[in-house]
Amino acid sequence: MHQEAQAVVHTLGNGQQGETVLDTIDLTKAYGQRVVVDHVNLSVKRGEILGFLGPNGAGKTTTIRMILGLVTPTSGCVEIFGQDLAEYASEVLPRIGALIEAPALYLHANARQNLRAFGAVLGGVSEKRIDEVLELMDLRAREKDRVRTFSLGMKQRLGIGIALLNDPDILILDEPANGLDPMGMMEMRDRLRDLAGRGKAILISSHMLAEMQQLCSHVAIIKQGHLVKEASIYELISQSSHQELIIRVNRPAEALLVLRAYPWGQTARMTPDGAIITGAPNNQPAALAQFLIQANFLPETIMPHSSNLEQIFLDLINDQSTGR
């Protein structure tokens, strides 16, 4: 964390880095007999970026709507700094900022005018706060330009800026990198990391797993309304049972077909440069080398292949034992 962010964290008036900000406690939502969110327990602390992941229809959107007070839980509750959202909505909701789907911006107006307009809805926001948000979102140089001239990444940054107008403790974002080019995603990543460094707790729902791996400190994975995993990125990847090897052999296309014929090699796949990523008999590199030699494939290299979030996500979602 750079020195400026550290200074801000140490002077936070509402709490310290690592303080729990958001809890969902056995959060459940049913529509008739259909349970779409089932006893979900999430926790987000200051300075954390939690990636909320799951396939379409898993219950992510309903969970987020309950956190924002837009949907009433069937049972369970949402707590902000230990206060029940249902009982203290007027006190705790202003501590949440959200950007759900694409921001509804006034395209004919400039950035400052947009912030003023949305600030008025909140009951008035000072010009000083608008200046702070423009600076924070790196929009100061373009504040007088009409929003219709902005790139998609700049519009997304302005949308996040609107969510930050009331200086919330929690920021909830739904697919903030949708449609962004690589440069736009990098800029978004930098902005969100900076906000986390300033003590914000950030919850992001996204399908972009590679981006989530680079951005998030923690992930929570939901499947059919059930939370199947919540862990830090480091723990999830380092403790993954999906250990694979990357190998180079003569006749790789033939070797790939042979490997896929065995249970431990069913997920074997070829990289664009001709290497093969595969499991191994009993998860042993030596056993894989012996197998390849006996199958008349000369292994030139056998190296560990780091698990990635996408593969871990697919393993958890496809694992029948995680369903209920």
For residues 31 and 233, what is the distance between their CA atoms, to the nearest angstrom?
Answer: 33
For residues 51 and 84, what is the distance between their CA atoms, to the nearest angstrom?
Answer: 23
Q: Do 244-306 and 3-238 have the same topology in CATH?
A: no
In terms of DSSP H, where are the helices of 148-215?
Answer: 152-163, 182-197, 209-215
Please say whether the beta carbons of 12 and 199 come within 8 A. yes
Name the burial class of residue 54, with classes exposed (0-12), middle (13-18) and buried (19+) by CB atoms within 10 angstroms of its CB. buried
For residues 50 and 270, what is the distance between their CA atoms, to the nearest angstrom?
Answer: 31
Region 244-306: CATH code:
3.30.70
Given the candidates 2.40.50.100, 3.40.50.300, 3.40.50.2300, 2.60.40.1080, the CATH classification of the domain at 3-238 is 3.40.50.300
pLDDT for residue 5: 34
User: How far are the Cα atoms of 149, 203, 310 from residue 226, in angstroms, in the given order?
Assistant: 42, 18, 19
Model confidence, pTM:
0.75
Backbone angles phi, psi at 313, to 5 degrees: -60, -50
N-to-C CA span, the chain = 41
Domain ranges of the chain: 3-238, 244-306
> Would you give per-residue pLDDT tens digits along the chain (324 residues)?
333 333 333 333 345 667 999 999 999 999 999 999 999 999 999 999 999 999 988 999 999 999 999 999 999 999 999 999 999 999 999 999 999 877 789 999 999 999 999 999 888 889 999 999 999 898 999 999 999 999 888 898 999 999 999 999 999 998 888 777 888 888 888 889 999 999 999 999 988 888 888 899 999 999 999 999 998 887 877 666 557 889 999 999 999 999 999 999 988 999 888 999 998 998 888 999 999 999 999 999 998 776 677 777 877 777 655 544
